[in-house]
Amino acid sequence: MKKSLMALIISLCLVLTGCAAGTAETATDVSAYFSNRDLKGTWDESEAVTVVLTEDGAVIDGEGAQAEGNVLSITAAGTYLLSGVWTDGTVRVSVGDEDKVQIVLSGASVTSRSSAALLVENADKVFVTLAEGTENTLSNGGSFSADSDIDAAVFARDDIVFNGLGALTVESANHGIVGKDDVKFTGGSYTVNAQGRGIDANDSVRIYDGSFAVVSQKDAIRAKHDEADKGYILIVNGSFDLNAGGGAANGPAHTENMGFGRGQGRNNVHTSSDSESQKGIKASGDITILGGAFNIDTADDAIHSDGSVTVSGGTYAIATGDDALHADAALNITDGSLVISQSYEGLEGKNITMSGGHIRLKASDDGLNAAGGNDQSGYGRNDMFSSDGVSSILISGGTLIINADGDGIDSNGDLTVTGGSILVSGPTNSGNGALDCAGTAAITGGTLIAAGAVGMAENFDSGSAQVSVLVNLSGAAGTVTVTDENGNTVLSGDVEKQYQCVVISSPDLKVGETYTVSNGSASTQVTVTSTVMGGGNSFGGWQNPGGRGGFGGGRGDWRQPDDTQGTPPTAPEGQQPPEMPQGTPPADGTPPDGGADGTTGATPSFPGGQQQFPGGQMPGGMGGPGGGQRGH
């Protein structure tokens, strides 16, 4: 199954190339995951058994359905057209293992006071089709029997598919929709209010299209299975408004030991057991998102996989009390527009790869964190400077804007940059750095401005093919500009807070040339004498032309060159990390005025006809579609 899933990802990505983010090509072959009947959402009314629901039960015209007490039993394959209101009843499906049943809801409302409104006991597959232009409701009246495992307003022991062009509201005292096999959606509009999980499946959740507004106390959408090739989530397209656990404002408390680097550890008092999990989209298997529009506000991770996460398109507005995107294994971003206005850590995975897309994030800890193991937010890193040998970050394209109070980009293994446009507004405390890499740090392409505190400042390794300079320049929030000897702008970006040093890198920086790095009235000149120049420590000012900079890094011959310009900054004594902005994210996910990321101030950019963010507009004034390549 995983092989076919990857084939689907590749084929869809090829079709989606050049299309706007959030769209899916309906002509794409998705037969491995959605049958023709899954996608159609039509029926032959002349062959349907009509069922009119009433306060006293049901009026049935046709064979295959019987009403007895508060149960409408469907016992034969076929199509059943339901309308009317039933205030205390259950529609129960129990047919043969090879039988398919289609239930068409056309202005139907079913409530069960102590069980599921729709119960699928046995079938090959059940289709729930929403008639166009109709409003329908399936709800639980407030409790579930303790003597049964039925714990959702819609409960299916076999495959269930939702399609059509109507609307369905699901309300439940526990879970909203539960499927013990596959749960699929190919069309329709869904509102789910659940005290437990919103949508939950064992084998998979597969969404081809639809509109989803889910408010849940636990995970909004979840798939979980013990088998490796199951428990996955596939989203091709759709509109998603997800709120879990009361939103980011109700996130867990995070306590920090803000010492130097990894060795001090980070103590997150939150646990992620299923009983407490309040994530937006969660899977024990892989999560693959090819498109869609997502507004996610969660107390826990917004998107979380115990396997891998692949984002190949879509638009995302995310506020979370924990990680925005988390993968225990690989986190791959090839396209899409992501605005993360609030997070503990922005992107976390064992191996993070970004080859395209546009990401703007704010994190109270690390912006990007590559760390082996499960969701521990980088815990257990007892050797301050040793690589774990498995983690990695590779950035080859796209636009990445980070505002982080911890490390801006943190890899417990290697960090490789071959392309893209990167702007980091890093920590103001000297216990973290704008760049933090325990393995090999190499840059061969792209543009980078990484500003932060001087205490743990790092540069790339001396083996890097592209010029990278760590400059001691203190400044407040504002525009960092690099100009050549003729006054031409080579590189520019808007840093969002105070900093003491900045790493700059661009293909247009050349060995032997002199550049001015400035921010307002503060400036310094740098003559590039080697490909990698500059290191930093908590005392500031030291440079290492032959090796990688970094406090305690033990790399290269540390010395202070004679031509140091200006007065090197020093780390203020007792400096503490800044407090995060207070307030509750708006319920509709709309960022406050002043910026799409919820911050005020100028929008980062790379102007001047040199390296710049791609043309067009995206949330927060970032460059829009353009392949994520650096400008010339």
pLDDT tens digits along 346-390: 999 999 999 999 999 999 999 999 996 555 433 333 344 457 889
pLDDT score at 418: 98
- Give, in order, the Cα–Cα distances in Å from 95 to each of 57, 90, 126: 21, 16, 10
Contacts of 16 (CB under 8 A, 6+ apart): 23, 24, 25, 290, 291, 312, 313, 335
Q: How confident is the model at residue 564 (pLDDT cuts 50, 70, 90)?
A: very low
pLDDT score at 389: 87
What is the C-alpha separation between 110 and 144, in angstroms, rounded?
15
Name the helix (H) or strand (E) containing 87.
none
Q: How confident is the model at residue 9 (pLDDT cuts 50, 70, 90)?
A: low
What is the C-alpha separation between 95 and 117, in angstroms, rounded?
18
Contacts of 149 (CB under 8 A, 6+ apart): none
Q: How confident is the model at residue 142 (pLDDT cuts 50, 70, 90)?
A: confident
**% of the chain with per-residue pLDDT over 70:** 74
**Mean pLDDT estimate for the chain:** 81
pLDDT score at 558: 25
| Number of helical (H) and strand (E) elements in the chain, helices listed first | 2, 48
- pTM of structure: 0.82
Q: How confident is the model at residue 605 (pLDDT cuts 50, 70, 90)?
A: very low
Ramachandran angles phi, psi of 334, nearest 5°: -110, -20
Q: How many CB atoms lie within 10 A of CB 46?
A: 6
- Provide mean pLDDT across the span 401-426: 98
- Provide mean pLDDT across the span 553-582: 34
pLDDT score at 555: 32
pLDDT score at 387: 76
Say yes or no to pLDDT of 128 above 50. Answer: yes
What is the C-alpha separation between 154 and 160, in angstroms, rounded?
10
- Provide mean pLDDT across the span 189-206: 98
Token reading at 585:
């994210």
pLDDT score at 627: 31
Q: What is the three-class DSSP state of 342?
A: strand
Say yes or no to pLDDT of 583 above 70. Answer: no
Contacts of 505 (CB under 8 A, 6+ apart): 417, 443, 446, 447, 448, 460, 466, 467, 468, 469
Token reading at 68:
């007895």
What is the C-alpha separation between 474 and 569, in angstroms, rounded?
7
pLDDT score at 268: 39
- Provide mean pLDDT across the span 80-103: 97
Contacts of 240 (CB under 8 A, 6+ apart): 212, 214, 292, 293, 294, 295, 296
Highest mean pLDDT (candidates 57-71, 242-256, 266-280): 57-71
Q: How confident is the model at residue 253 (pLDDT cuts 50, 70, 90)?
A: confident
- Provide mean pLDDT across the span 63-85: 97
Contacts of 491 (CB under 8 A, 6+ apart): 447, 449, 481, 482, 504, 506, 508, 509, 606, 608, 610, 611
- Provide mean pLDDT across the span 584-595: 37
